[in-house]
Amino acid sequence: MNKPLTRAEVAPDQTWNLDDLFATRQAWLAEMAAIEQALETVTAHQGHLAEGAVRLLACLDARDALMARLQRAYTFASLRNAEDGGDPARQSDQANAAGLYARVEAATKFVDTEILALPDGTVQRWLAEQPLLAVHRTDLDDLASLKPHMLSAETERVLASLGEVLESPFMVYQRSKTSDMQFAPFTAGGREQPNSFNLYEWTYEGSADAGVRRAAWVSFCKGLAPYRNTYAATFATEVTKNIALAKARGYPGAEQFLLHQHKVSFDLYTNILDTIQAELAPHMQRYARLRQRVLGLDRLLYCDIKAPLDPDYVPAITFDEAGDLILKAVAPMGPEYVELVRTAFQRRWIDRASNTGKASGAFCASPYGAHPFILMTWTDSMRDAFILAHELGHAGHFLTAQRHQRYVNTRPAMPFVEAPSIMNEVLLARQILQGEADPRMRRWVLMQVLGTYHHNFVTHLLEAELQRQVYRLAEGGQPVTAALLDERKAAILKAFWGDTVVIDEGAAMTWMRQPHYYLGLYPYTYSVGLVAATALAEKARNEGDGVFAGWLDVLRAGGTLPPLLLMQQVGIDLSSPQPIRDAVGYVGRMIEDLEASF
């Protein structure tokens, strides 16, 4: 049995280079202290914002600069902890960074409360008088939309000071997941194999060997089970927190409160959840029956739903080969974007090693004033290339926005965030299919694309459905317990998959696997991104790759427009349910093609 590597044993070329953020931990500590001292560049304006446009501009510019520095410092600590969450020193550094973040937010909260206290029309008049204030217009408009929901200045300051406490459910979940949880080795085919969060999700879950896949699933579920009540308590605390804040701020419910910052209507959120579940389920049930038949399984267990349909055909690819392929795929985005992706491979922006304590899954962090950092686990599979293309989509989006926007305007609202990343997956699939004559490879790519839709239209969307049900039950007085979460998750899965998939106890516990429940209403936004990417790919097929010039303009816009307006810039109207139905129909056609291939 191969023992998992420690972080110290990992080859440096498989890791990201955090020296690009801070050359040493001492340099980071010095910046942390300097940020604390620099607080006075903002707080010096406290009590004076009513003096005029010049004073307001000076204060907002100072806050913008300070928050960019704080983001870089916090990201450094967070990334070091993601490398090895079991290291107490890294845990301590991340806690210190979170504490500084809370202190800065509390100390600068006066900016929002003093602006909101200005007489109606004052900010708009100052925007007209002082052209340099225009860079802050979006932020000021967003703040104005919060005015009916703001509390007293002192209450807002106290809430800001409690930021670290209010984010503790996420912190507890992540720390437990990376530091405490252990999975017993399992035996399959007479061979003992290690198991971990990363090994299960990156290797065993998609294994072609049913014996390995199912034995790993049993080990994985046994590892999760002892944490059910603890994770249910963190989940419940997150839900209770948001319900309390929603009530205090005068929102009709927690969902409306969490959707406010998304800048989309409640109707869009509802249409995404209802339409995709209702219209996609028959297609995915047909896909499940196909999987069971082709794989010759007596029944399809939940751990089998990602098993490869052609288990003898597992296309492999090295990290370097994937880099070349992805560069060709994103060529329609133009030379600036291609060079950005090339640099990610050349300058160690990507951490692909597997080691104990490393955070599971994949993500891209993009601190302002520095380059992005991507975390994943590389297993030499073509699936890894799609995951990497996805994360490079985030990197390309945010770095492009940074080059054209100030810190305050870099990030769009959450419903747009996944569109650029999923667009890169679509481009990669197109690139492979353009030059591929082998029918098995073409079929494999079709299955990979279906995997993307499964991940975003099923896995994440059903997470969103669980959120919707749990928030409404909790608002009705139902305690959020492990039993409730298991029961609701199992019911949601059974409603979607019908009788095609066996929903066992492990499937019911999948609410324990994802951190998204601690990130507001994040899960449904993956579907928004996939709908947008599907619509744009169809436009490119009909109108040519010239549409990507407009897409680059959208990326450059950062957060200066709300999500639906960003998408409208390239002719995608998500105020209508039609793009949602079109994307679901596209999935149905792919499944029909796959059925015909077998």
pLDDT tens digits for 13-65? Answer: 999 999 999 999 999 999 999 999 999 999 999 999 999 999 999 999 999 99
- What is the average per-residue pLDDT within 283-312? 94
Q: How far apart are CA 370 and CA 20, in angstroms?
A: 7
| pLDDT, tens only, 223-268 | 999 999 999 999 999 999 999 999 999 999 999 999 999 999 999 9
Longest CA–CA separation in the chain, Å:
77
In a domain, 207, yes or no: no
**Strand (E) or helix (H) holding 350:** strand 350-351
- What is the average per-residue pLDDT within 302-324? 92
What 204-209 contacts at long range (C-beta under 8 Å, 24+ apart), as own/partner pairs, is 205/303, 205/306, 206/306, 206/307, 206/308, 206/381, 206/383, 207/307, 208/307, 208/308, 208/311, 208/312, 208/314, 209/311
| pLDDT, tens only, 511-523 | 999 899 999 999 9
| pLDDT, tens only, 172-199 | 999 898 888 999 999 999 999 999 988 8
Q: Amino acid letter at 502? A: V
Ramachandran class of 356: left when φ > 0, alpha when ψ lies in -120 to 50, beta otherwise:
beta
Predicted local distance difference test score (pLDDT) of residue 2: 65
- What is the average per-residue pLDDT within 144-157? 92
Question: Please, is 462 exposed, middle or buried when counting C-beta atoms within 10 Å of its C-beta (0-12, 13-18, 19+)?
Answer: buried
- What is the average per-residue pLDDT within 586-597? 93
Q: Are 315 and 374 in contact (CB under 8 A)?
A: no
User: What is the DSSP-derived secondary structure letter of residue 313?
Assistant: -
Q: Amino acid letter at 239? A: V
- Full DSSP string of 543-570: H-TTHHHHHHHHHHTTTSS-HHHHHHTT
> By C-alpha distance, which of 566, 467, 560 is closest to 259?
467
Domain boundary among 150, 166, 182: 166
Predicted local distance difference test score (pLDDT) of residue 383: 86
Secondary structure tally for the chain: helices H, strands E: 27, 5
> By C-alpha distance, which of 256, 260, 276, 255 is closest to 577?
276
How many CB atoms within 10 Å of residue 18? Answer: 20
| pLDDT, tens only, 467-490 | 999 999 999 999 999 999 999 999
- What is the average per-residue pLDDT within 279-300? 96
Domain boundary among 166, 187, 207: 166
What 207-216 contacts at long range (C-beta under 8 Å, 24+ apart), as own/partner pairs, is 207/307, 208/307, 208/308, 208/311, 208/312, 208/314, 209/311, 210/295, 210/297, 210/304, 210/307, 212/188, 213/303, 213/304, 213/307, 214/301, 214/303, 214/304, 215/186, 215/187, 215/188, 216/186, 216/188, 216/303
3-state SS assignment for residue 107: helix
Predicted local distance difference test score (pLDDT) of residue 405: 97
Predicted local distance difference test score (pLDDT) of residue 313: 86
How many CB atoms within 10 Å of residue 327? Answer: 17
Q: How far apart are CA 228 and CA 287, in angstroms?
A: 31
Higher-pLDDT residue of 303 and 4 is: 303
pLDDT > 60? residue 1: no
Percent of the chain with pLDDT over 70: 100
Q: How far apart are CA 73 and CA 91, in angstroms?
A: 15
How many folded domains does the chain comprise?
2
In a domain, 93, yes or no: yes
| pLDDT, tens only, 387-415 | 999 999 999 999 999 999 999 999 999 99
- What is the average per-residue pLDDT within 304-325? 92
Phi, psi of 208 (to 5 degrees): -75, -15
pLDDT > 80? residue 364: yes
In a domain, 290, yes or no: no
Residues 6+ away with beta carbon under 8 Å from 437: none
Q: How far apart are CA 526 and CA 425, in angstroms?
A: 13
pLDDT > 90? residue 436: no
Phi, psi of 188 (to 5 degrees): -145, 130
Report the DSSP pairing between strands 363-365 and 186-188. unpaired
What dihedral angle (degrees, nearest 10) is formed by the CA atoms of 475, 477, 479, 484? -70
Percent of the chain with pLDDT over 90: 86
Q: pTM score > 0.85 for this model?
A: yes
Domain boundary among 166, 201, 219: 166
Predicted local distance difference test score (pLDDT) of residue 332: 95
In a domain, 461, yes or no: no
Predicted local distance difference test score (pLDDT) of residue 161: 87
Predicted local distance difference test score (pLDDT) of residue 160: 86
Question: Which domain covers residue 577, as residue numbers?
Answer: 319-449+522-584
Identify any residues that bridge with 509 across adjacent strands, giving them in sequence order.
Answer: none
Tokens found for residue 449: 């694309």
Q: Which residue has the tokens 């993500």?
A: 363
Domain at 550, CATH number = 1.10.1370.40
Domain at 111, CATH number = 1.20.140.70
In a domain, 2, yes or no: no
In a domain, 272, yes or no: no
Across all residues in the chain, what is the average pLDDT?
Answer: 94
pLDDT > 90? residue 435: no
In a domain, 19, yes or no: yes
What dihedral angle (degrees, nearest 10) is formed by the CA atoms of 341, 343, 348, 353? 30
Q: How far apart, in Å, do the first and last CA atoms of the chain sit?
A: 37
Predicted local distance difference test score (pLDDT) of residue 163: 85
In a domain, 210, yes or no: no
